[in-house]
Amino acid sequence: MFEHNDALSGFRLGIFGKGGSGKSTVTVLLANQLQTQGYAVNLVDADSTNVGLHHALGLDRPPDPLIDYFGGMVFSGGAVTCPVDDPAPLAGANLSLNSLPENYWARTPSGVILLTLGKISDKGPGAGCDGPIAKIARDLTITTDHPSPVTLIDFKAGFEDSARGVLSRIDLALVVVDPSIAAVEMALSMKRMINDIRDGAVPATAHLDDVNQVTTANKVFSETTTRDVAVVLNRIATSSAEDIICDRLDDYGVPVLGVIEHSETISNAWMLGEPLDLLPQMDAMELVVARLESLCNAVPQPDSTHGQATRQVEMGT
């Protein structure tokens, strides 16, 4: 049995990758594995489009969207703005689970806390909630009775959220790579973007008239907490596919934390809306957690002075 563990407590991990690569699968498996190993886990569903994550977590229904808790999106006259137009921090984004109304969160059978940011399907035609959802994903901190949960954020496919500034507030970008060159290239692009931010790149602000907003946007980027990027391979069917993808990532210094094989059990679970749990893949996830613990503690958190991003990723296991 696992002892209580806290090497990753307080860490915010963003799960990124190309569409359909397995972000949600990896997020659920990792959340369950972390919970099994004694962590408290907050899983944030930040994908405005896909529904159904709650099934994979063994829940009958998702919690109500937090965008409603925060007053709705600006495009419908609400309070939550897009970070590109308004980089100011989201008011009240530091929440305690004890004071958050129970309809806005759910505890899965394995003990993971699920929070949902918002779904475009709820908002009607013409709605565009991705910007406001990115702001909540960027700024939300949920504390629980446990001193420091691990937060996993399951993002929408692609890069837009990361370009909106969410990268500045996560500790590690976990990119899920399926056996395709597009997925590998997305991981490499993410690595470049993180390196640029750590080297002092500032966001695009030519559209902002207010100098205070420009200052705030630059400050968000300059205070980045992001340490690095790492990969989990998913849907790997052959050892030669694994070798090809690993070699490619290795050439660019992107560590692979683990490999999830192509599995009928996984695809059937998604097809039937059944929980992704007690799968053989949990052994692979145990290795992912061990490597995450090693990685996150080997790479120092960036400070805000920049220009010294020469950190090496040391893989421990």
Interface ranges with ligand ATP (CB under 6 A): 17, 19-25, 47, 50, 157, 234-235, 260, 262-263, 266-267, 270
For ligand ATP, which is the closer residue by CB, 156 or 191? 156
* C-alpha–C-alpha distance, residues 57 and 129, integer Å: 24
Asked if 24 touches Mg ion (CB under 5 A), the answer is yes
Q: Which partner in ligand ATP, Mg ion, none is near 226 (CB below 5 to 8 A by kind)?
A: none
With beta carbons less than 8 A apart as the criterion, state whether 42 and 63 touch: no
For Mg ion, which is the closer residue by CB, 53 or 220? 53
In whole angstroms, the minimum distance from the beta carbon of 297 to ligand ATP comes to 27
Residue 124: CB partners within 8 Å, gap ≥ 6? none
For Mg ion, which is the closer residue by CB, 67 or 217? 67
Q: Which partner in Mg ion, ligand ATP, none is near 234 (CB below 5 to 8 A by kind)?
A: ligand ATP
For Mg ion, which is the closer residue by CB, 23 or 169? 23
For ligand ATP, which is the closer residue by CB, 52 or 253? 52
* C-alpha–C-alpha distance, residues 105 and 134, integer Å: 18
Asked if 108 touches Mg ion (CB under 5 A), the answer is no
Q: b/e for 145-162, b at 16 or more Cβ within 10 A?
A: ebeebbbbbbbbbebebb
Closest CA to 88 of 232, 270, 283, 218: 218
For ligand ATP, which is the closer residue by CB, 235 or 291? 235
> Which residue carries 């963003």 as its tokens?
14
Residue 42: CB partners within 8 Å, gap ≥ 6? 112, 113, 115, 142, 144, 149, 150, 151, 152
- Per CB under 5 A, contacts with Mg ion among 32-51 are 50
Asked if 235 touches Mg ion (CB under 5 A), the answer is no
> Which residue carries 């129970």 as its tokens?
102
Asked if 27 touches Mg ion (CB under 5 A), the answer is no
Written as one letter, the residue type at 78 is G
Residue 295: CB partners within 8 Å, gap ≥ 6? 172, 228, 230, 255, 257, 313, 314, 315, 316
How many residues of this chain interact with Mg ion, rule: CB under 5 A? 3
Structure token digits, residue 118: 């918002």
In whole angstroms, the minimum distance from the beta carbon of 47 to Mg ion comes to 5
Q: Which partner in Mg ion, ligand ATP, none is near 215 (CB below 5 to 8 A by kind)?
A: none
Asked if 23 touches Mg ion (CB under 5 A), the answer is yes
Query: What is the SS3 assignment for 224-275?
Result: CCCCEEEEEEEEECCHHHHHHHHHHHHHCCCCEEEEEECCHHHHHHHHHCCC
Asked if 119 touches Mg ion (CB under 5 A), the answer is no
The site string for Mg ion over 236-265 (x = CB under 5 A, - otherwise) reads ------------------------------
Asked if 18 touches Mg ion (CB under 5 A), the answer is no
Written as one letter, the residue type at 232 is V
In whole angstroms, the minimum distance from the beta carbon of 19 to ligand ATP comes to 4
Contacts to Mg ion by CB under 5 A: 23-24, 50
